[in-house]
Structure 1
């Protein structure tokens, strides 16, 4: 029992016929015990079988019908885990079992992907990840582990313990591709994680011991940092004697049942791409760290309905998220060259991952044109205080900032989500005063990608001001997203007190920003007045006509006030160091006149006019031969900046904006991660089966925004900018 009837022998039989027979048997009705030699023949056979796509689909459809009785998916998963265990015991050295593991991976990937894409129920019951009751279960699977736990443990153990080398590269890559397929069950669920979501493989990954989780995160990040090259010439496994290779590269990935690698022929090119293994490692890491499993948790509530001092504690079940060990590892990762114990006298509880932050910093700087790299940088800055601190003390901040600013400069070519992520990163960095000071000390010889104007010997801080204002202008004309405006202006407000020698062009753009917003405000006021006039003339209720316009006017009033606060912060805390700002305000002083009597702006404009009066009087006192030139005016301003004492200036509480995640960030990030993966071609998926986000339109964040006073912090008014889901 267990033999394969009529199986062609190796001698005298064509491998093509043998492969055809074994694959047909695998998807057919007959069930073979897990100990049958059928499995060895299936996995040891050189699989260079090429089938048209319609035959692959037919095989998958037949497999789905028969898997309930045969449980062949569960059985090949067990054999895959055994092969990986054996590979680990031989330290990944080339061997027959290495080829068996790859064959098991290819077959598993194809049929698992089809089953997930075509699942008829939310519970994906078609997987049948358990053996028939009549069949004895292998002893090493019965140790309290489900088949998916057993398999995922073996996959992650290989990834975490076996180094990437020319001999192991393909298996590493295919295991990561398999994990992408296995975790794609998330695509079947809605955007908000719920108790009924079924993600058996990613849940199994979450259940692994901490030491394995650390080793996996380490391997994924090291793969991303080092981007090991793929060189087929170094693989002895591709050919062996006169026999066909265990793997055969084919011309069309879509038309073959076995291909090398499963996604290798799918283009992973694009800006910031570091090669298939590095890209796939990043994708798997992003899925793992942003995953959230919804569970029922205990919450104690106090019942005082009887009005007595005594109280009864009742247990109430509430929905919550279980801990994500991969997210915790990333948040606690430390620099390999720095030990916080030396400075704070304590250390993290338990083992922590140590990585070379310098290499990670440099890698991200090179790859930020890639949206996935931007999301990784965001995740590190948001969750890992050590990495944030490391970035802030770097003296070469242009390594990160220049690609960020260039991406914002090319905003029309970027997705709105990428623009949001980049702006939030800038906002997080601007919360640190040392960052705001240091960016003005770093001088850029040139900015070749900035086409509108030649920027020569411009500070990084001035360039950042220019790009943020340009982003506001782009948003005003194209996206019209209030949240984007808010984030840009909040970052500028954080930078304002620390501005040092802002360039003439950046200073002009800052005043022009107020002018641009004021013209928009004035236009809205005219529309509102016209609507009210028309409503009165036609005896129509005017409130409904003006509501939308009034709401928009209120928003622009906030923006105008914020720009005035930015100018005030520069004039109050940094005027002597910024003569170009004074010149720009004097040159365009007429733009402030219409708002002198506006109740929201009066106090702020009083300071601006105090500065104007001071420097205008100094100008009037100067005798100049001929007409005033820019150079002469600027020279008078520079001379009088030295005698400026700020007399008559009203001191306002310094603004400080902070970024805070919404209470349910997973509703944005989980769909976003998968949208990135699918858009990069790392995984194809049936659009009709996707419930995580509308398949015809990628998930975009909403246009809501929040800018709320958050109490006094060190004498400064702190506001929080929230990213809504």
Structure 2
């Protein structure tokens, strides 16, 4: 029989990121002692000079640091060419603020930003710092410090404004700036601030390798990217043409060369898992090892909780499962957000013949919402193995830049890190969208590298959501369409399966383990989730594997027969219940009809389940009986 194939992935979208709007929660300072208030927050100018200064030789006294930040959040607008910005970004930020003052500063900044436009100005200065870091042959620590400070300060106030925005068009950001202002002569007249920002940030991420000197800046830029793209959390679950997301929309308009370089660099970060030096210095930490002002702000107002499993931490730690890398994790999150962004085409736009795809292949084209093509998703789908160029063999060379990396390294990295849903989603994206990577996976002889973590997660299905289980099953369903894959998994023998607790499994084949885990998932789904779609996917995988079964273990054979027995008894019970209700006379005929319809629907579902299980057993008996004596 022809293999079962998965439905369109967009016909049943699964949530990967938190969809609820998160609000800022800052507790009062735990220190009850009276302290000096930052007077400039209530009176931003106070008795301070018209232009805050660092003092002699640029020394940063505690009073000067507070004065600079008071001026930043105050109601006086500093021109973009003012010396104030250089002094602010070069400031060693070691001053400690309590949390309530951080919140007070955020409120003051958001209120005064309407006329000061300080947010737009500091974002422009960030891009100028990044351009200096990119163009200079040797970058000094002071240049890195300015860029890091600009990225960090921007992310703090951006996150606060985004979380507390009252309008969906993000007017509170106040990114419109007078381009005739002195100092903006080099600013591109045809670009908006958000486009200029995203081009600068993405260009740096895609063109500069992570090194011990640049790792902190990469870390801050990835954090900033998460904040910039978090405007999606304030929209509904389904994209609408009227939705406005200024920063990620600007990212979608970047040149193909920038897009390809960013996708490649983010993938390489995930594969190489660069570490932040534990003995390195960072401007947001004070010299005595205590948290500086930005670290305190980070713990209070800029704690990036956009994703449920994301924790803000500068240092890495080693675990029993391997070494974690915050840069690798953040790179993966940014990549996933970029490739899964969908921009609807409004009714007023003319729909182009190319660069558009529909949300559901099973829906009428006239009724299906149309989306602009996502260049990052396209770049990932067209990624090539650096060790084997298909263009020379098949003549399918791509126009424009192409993402090239080692599929072997990517395969190994996925096998090592396939513990959370972000890594699973990346594997799904590659297997479903990138034909070259799918072919590479199918010809690998060590399929247990990927399959064992997947099967372990399915084994612990009670700890997963139905959407996570669905994603894992779709990966297996795509792979099981290939006959070579089905033959390989039955020939690969596992010495032991330590995480399987119901029974000791020694010298069992990977195919037998797949059968056992899939049947276990089916039984869990019938008792708990009762999701017909998940159930059908499990049976479809087994049906694809059936004709290629080889030396199926006694335990796997017994579980397969017990599944048929369980479904048969359930079917017989439903059939008997339906017959009893048909003969029973009830005064409430409408209620009886509803109950009868529900029973008929469930009976029909179990009829389909039994049919598929019978096809699986029949395929084994017909095509593979000599190789599977335990089934008899």
TM-score range for the pair, normalised by the shorter chain length: 0.7 to 0.9
In the superposition, relative to structure 1, how do residues 510 and 131 fare at CA in structure 2: closer, same or farther (>3 Å)? same
Contact 1:298–1:318 under 8 Å retained in 2 = no
Contact 1:288–1:326 under 8 Å retained in 2 = yes
2:94 alignment partner, one of 23, 32, 48 = 48
For residue 491 of structure 1, report the CA deviation from its aligned partner.
Answer: 0.4
Report 1:432-471 matches (<5 A).
432-471=482-521
Unaligned stretches of 5+ residues in structure 2: 1-44, 305-309, 354-365
The superposition leaves residues 406-454 of structure 1 with CA deviations (integer Å, 9 ceiling, x where unpaired) of 1111111223222111111000000101101111111111111111111
**Greater CA deviation, 28-37 or 125-134?**
125-134
Report 1:123-522 matches (<5 A).
123-132=169-178, 135-136=181-182, 138-235=184-281, 253-255=298-300, 263-264=312-313, 274-296=324-346, 297-298=349-350, 320-522=370-572
Contact 2:114–2:172 under 8 Å retained in 1 = yes
Aligned counterparts of 2:201 and 2:418: Cα–Cα separation in 1: 29
Q: CA RMSD in A?
A: 3.0
In the superposition, relative to structure 1, how do residues 37 and 364 fare at CA in structure 2: closer, same or farther (>3 Å)? same
Unaligned stretches of 5+ residues in structure 1: 302-315, 583-725
The superposition leaves residues 167-223 of structure 1 with CA deviations (integer Å, 9 ceiling, x where unpaired) of 111100110000000000111111111111111111111111111111111110110
TM-score, normalised relative to structure 1? 0.73
TM-score, normalised relative to structure 2? 0.84
Aligned counterparts of 1:382 and 1:166: Cα–Cα separation in 2: 35
In the superposition, relative to structure 1, how do residues 317 and 530 fare at CA in structure 2: closer, same or farther (>3 Å)? closer
- Please tell me whether Structure 1 or Structure 2 has the larger radius of gyration of its CA atoms: 1
For residue 538 of structure 1, report the CA deviation from its aligned partner.
Answer: 4.1
The superposition leaves residues 20-76 of structure 1 with CA deviations (integer Å, 9 ceiling, x where unpaired) of 111111111101111011111111111122222221111111111111111111111
1:540 alignment partner, one of 569, 589, 603 = 589
Aligned residue number for residue 644 of structure 1:
none
Contact 2:480–2:486 under 8 Å retained in 1 = yes
In the superposition, relative to structure 1, how do residues 272 and 178 fare at CA in structure 2: closer, same or farther (>3 Å)? farther
Partner secondary structure for residue 233 of structure 1:
coil
Aligned counterparts of 2:126 and 2:335: Cα–Cα separation in 1: 22
Contact 2:159–2:302 under 8 Å retained in 1 = no
Contact 1:532–1:545 under 8 Å retained in 2 = no
Aligned counterparts of 1:383 and 1:130: Cα–Cα separation in 2: 38
| Equivalent residue pairs, number | 564
Contact 1:93–1:167 under 8 Å retained in 2 = no
Aligned counterparts of 1:226 and 1:439: Cα–Cα separation in 2: 28
Aligned counterparts of 1:116 and 1:429: Cα–Cα separation in 2: 41
Aligned counterparts of 1:377 and 1:215: Cα–Cα separation in 2: 20
Contact 1:48–1:244 under 8 Å retained in 2 = no
For residue 244 of structure 1, report the CA deviation from its aligned partner.
Answer: 10
Aligned counterparts of 2:442 and 2:553: Cα–Cα separation in 1: 23
Contact 1:253–1:266 under 8 Å retained in 2 = no
Aligned counterparts of 2:282 and 2:245: Cα–Cα separation in 1: 37
Aligned residue number for residue 50 of structure 2:
5
The superposition leaves residues 575-595 of structure 1 with CA deviations (integer Å, 9 ceiling, x where unpaired) of 22111112xxxxxxxxxxxxx
Aligned residue number for residue 17 of structure 1:
63
Aligned counterparts of 1:53 and 1:247: Cα–Cα separation in 2: 13
Report 1:6-155 matches (<5 A).
7-11=52-56, 15-90=61-136, 93-132=139-178, 135-136=181-182, 138-155=184-201
Contact 1:461–1:502 under 8 Å retained in 2 = yes
For residue 232 of structure 1, report the CA deviation from its aligned partner.
Answer: 3.5
Contact 1:177–1:262 under 8 Å retained in 2 = no
Contact 1:19–1:49 under 8 Å retained in 2 = yes
Contact 1:46–1:245 under 8 Å retained in 2 = no
